[in-house]
């Protein structure tokens, strides 16, 4: 299990996260929401070991994150940052295969996993193309396939951290992406995903964390958190919240 206790993080002289207590639960998707500058990416950076806690602890299976060796950590924890840069003309399948580097599962098995991850991210039709020739949304989906391949097929004890994986995607592929993430969680993976779309969070997340100025404002199931009062307090946005007519989750409508 990945969890943080009393997490405080500084960037320069500014404390960007204050007093965060959180654990990622197997089989669940935790959505992190908040306005720009709320500390969402800093939280992901601390959970992944990229940022050092100024105070508090980050634990993976009750062991300090800093104590995990690179390959062992990568076999348990995959991270998709907000921006993934790659300046080489790798073919799409070669980019996805980078996710298999921490493993020693053999060329044949790795090829099978790459194929499955390409299908899950709906980029199998891009096989053979240069990564540099892709659109921004296509690149984003290729990197999603890469982190899925890293943990494939996903199981309890695996953790997937995603920073705005739908930001460059059209509406169809926003849902394709989150359905793939949801399928990973259903296999036991603990998922944290940063989102800006409140309705996507309501549909696909089991729990939602609202961050405000680096502080936790609300944490709970979508029906508890995605209500007019918390959303007004955090985003300054007046909304109506109704029940989705078919699925039953909250449906947020800006007033």
Q: Report the alpha-carbon distance of residue 247 to residue 239 in Å, rounded.
A: 19
Per-residue model confidence as pLDDT tens digits over 185-207: 999 999 999 999 999 999 999 99
Per-residue model confidence as pLDDT tens digits over 47-83: 998 998 889 999 999 999 888 888 999 999 999 998 8
Structural domain range at position 56: 2-254
CATH for 239: 3.40.50.300
Q: Report the alpha-carbon distance of residue 190 to residue 178 in Å, rounded.
A: 14
Q: Report the alpha-carbon distance of residue 218 to residue 214 in Å, rounded.
A: 12
Q: Report the alpha-carbon distance of residue 83 to residue 94 in Å, rounded.
A: 19
Q: Report the alpha-carbon distance of residue 175 to residue 201 in Å, rounded.
A: 11
Predicted local confidence at residue 13, as pLDDT: 86
Q: Report the alpha-carbon distance of residue 100 to residue 180 in Å, rounded.
A: 18
Question: How much is the mean pLDDT over the chain?
Answer: 95
Q: Has residue 84 got a pLDDT over 80? A: no
Give residue 86's pLDDT band: very low, low, confident or very high (50, 70, 90): confident
Secondary structure (3-state) at 81:
coil
Please count the other Cβ atoms lying within 10 Å of the Cβ belonging to residue 112: 13
Domain count, the chain: 1
Q: Has residue 104 got a pLDDT over 80? A: yes
């Amino acid at each position: 299990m990945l969890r943080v206790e009393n997490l405080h993080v500084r960037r320069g002289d500014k404390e960007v996260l204050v007093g965060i207590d959180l654990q990622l639960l197997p089989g669940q998707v935790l959505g992190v929401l908040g306005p720009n500058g709320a500390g969402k990416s800093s939280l992901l950076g601390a959970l992944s070991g990229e940022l050092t806690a100024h105070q508090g602890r980050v634990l993976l299976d009750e062991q300090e994150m800093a104590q995990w060796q690179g390959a062992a950590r990568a076999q348990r924890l995959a991270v998709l940052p907000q921006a993934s840069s790659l300046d080489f003309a790798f073919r799409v399948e070669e980019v996805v295969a980078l996710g298999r580097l921490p493993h020693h599962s053999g060329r044949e098995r790795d090829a099978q996993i790459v194929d499955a991850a390409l299908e899950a991210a709906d980029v199998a039709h891009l096989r053979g193309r240069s990564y540099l020739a892709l659109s921004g949304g296509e690149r984003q989906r290729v990197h999603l396939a890469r982190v899925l391949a890293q943990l494939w097929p996903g199981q309890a004890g695996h953790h997937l951290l995603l920073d705005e994986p739908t930001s460059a995607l059209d509406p169809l592929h926003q849902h394709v992406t989150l359905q793939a993430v949801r399928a990973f969680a259903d296999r036991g993976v603990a998922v944290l995903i940063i989102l800006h779309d409140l309705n996507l969070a309501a549909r696909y997340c089991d729990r939602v964390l609202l961050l405000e100025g680096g502080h936790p404002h609300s944490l709970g199931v979508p029906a508890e958190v995605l209500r007019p009062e918390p959303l007004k307090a955090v985003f300054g946005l007046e909304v109506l919240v109704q029940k989705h007519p078919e699925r039953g989750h909250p449906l947020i409508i800006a007033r």
